[in-house]
Amino acid sequence: MKKSATLVVAGLLAVTFPIWAGDQYQLHLAALIAVFWVLIGGLNLVVGYTGQLSIGHVGLLAVSAYTFSILAGTQGLHPAIATAAAGALCGLFGLLLGLPSLRLPGFYFAMATMAVALIVGEFIMANDGLTGGGIGLAAPTFPTPFDSPAGFYYLVLALAALVTWLTWNVARRMWGRGLVAIRDQPVTAQAVGVPVFRAKLKVFVFSGVTAGVAGAVFASLQSYITPDTFVFELSLFFFVCIIIGGRGSIVGPLIGTVILTALPELVAPLAKLGNFFYGLLLLAVVLLVPEGIGRVFEVISERLRPRHIASVPVSPDLPRLARALGARR
């Protein structure tokens, strides 16, 4: 009851944000958070629920950002069609990447995904006729009413809400439990009939599609994309948001995304020491609250309002038991 109330309040705050936001910069930051969440929400199923160490999603982001910019910009297609095409292409990419890699054990899969991200980077640079090479491409804005900052914010907010709703549905139903089973005890999961490989592949493709959509709106938000934007550190950033938020939760990674995107802006005055403190914060969170921030909220809410587990005293009906035992003899 309380949880849904907080969700409703948070939702209202998000929807009315353009009204009480300070300025366009904060609106831009909020839109960036929403765009990242579209990708991270899908990735959450892969990393947080299924436990796959996927650290190459920046490659998918890059593919879809360039696809969007080429289709909607150079080729002149409608941005909505370009977004759908980018999503579909990245889903296909996810399928092609997942088929050989998902059978590999944890660290190997991580390195394979990281390596693919690097390949995408090289490919972008090498085909400068198509992608503009080092110069990059301009990305078009969406047509009205989405071309104003507030309009675009509502567009990405709607997409983020859609992704949240989809992943929440998956998480709380049997699928979600199957994924968690794969993460924690893959052998047992297989023994009880969870289709391990197919489930992993399906969520991976889904995360590819969300990455595709995220890349398209990301390009539009940045209005100009260059290969320097899609560095490996961004992939680690996505991964970190999920782990810090807490695996096995939807709200946790969402909070993680909000905090980690806003954080560099807050420590902006630190200038040179910024990245160092980012690493330090990461280490601190991993050592002190390894279950993630989601868990911290759970612990706090337990403290504030402990769940009353009604204790039902067991009083056996002794005479009846005696009769039954007597009858047995």
Q: Minimum CB separation from another protein for residue 311, in Å?
A: 31
Q: Minimum CB separation from another protein for residue 92, in Å?
A: 18
Other CB atoms within a 10 A radius of the CB of residue 185 amount to 13
Q: Minimum CB separation from another protein for residue 320, in Å?
A: 44
- Are 64 and 87 in contact, with CB atoms under 8 Å apart? yes
Applying CB under 8 A, which part among 66-74, 159-167, 205-213, 266-274 lies near another protein? 266-274
For residues 42 to 71, the per-residue mask of contacts with another protein, x marking binding by CB under 8 A and - elsewhere, is ---------x-x------------------
Closer residue to another protein in complex, CB, 194/234: 234
Closer residue to another protein in complex, CB, 254/285: 285
Report the site for another protein in 156-215 (rule: CB under 8 A).
187, 191
Closer residue to another protein in complex, CB, 92/281: 281
- Are 62 and 216 in contact, with CB atoms under 8 Å apart? no
What is the SS3 string spanning the chain? Answer: CHHHHHHHHHHHHHHCHHHHCCCHHHHHHHHHHHHHHHHHHHHHHHHHHCCCCCCCHHHHHHHHHHHHHHHHHHCCCCHHHHHHHHHHHHHHHHHHHHHHHCCCCHHHHHHHHHHHHHHHHHHHHHCHHHHCCCCCEECCCCCCCCCCHHHHHHHHHHHHHHHHHHHHHHHHCHHHHHHHHHHHCHHHHHHCCCCHHHHHHHHHHHHHHHHHHHHHHHHHHHCEECHHHCCHHHHHHHHHHHHHHCCCCCHHHHHHHHHHHHHHHHCHHHHHHHHHHHHHHHHHHHHHCCCCHHHHHHHHHHHHCCCCCCCCCCCCCHHHHHHHHHHHC
Number of residues lying near another protein (CB under 8 A):
72
Closer residue to another protein in complex, CB, 84/267: 267
Considering only residues 170, 243, 254, 293, which one is a binding residue for another protein as defined by CB under 8 A? 243
Closer residue to another protein in complex, CB, 85/116: 116
**Site for another protein contains 238 (CB under 8 A):** no
Report the site for another protein in 135-164 (rule: CB under 8 A).
135-136, 138
Q: Minimum CB separation from another protein for residue 100, in Å?
A: 6
**Site for another protein contains 32 (CB under 8 A):** yes
Q: Minimum CB separation from another protein for residue 169, in Å?
A: 25
Closer residue to another protein in complex, CB, 85/194: 194
Closer residue to another protein in complex, CB, 233/302: 233
For residues 87 to 126, the per-residue mask of contacts with another protein, x marking binding by CB under 8 A and - elsewhere, is -------------xx-xx-xxx-xxx-xxx-xx-xxx-xx
- Are 57 and 186 in contact, with CB atoms under 8 Å apart? no
Considering only residues 130, 274, 321, 324, which one is a binding residue for another protein as defined by CB under 8 A? 274
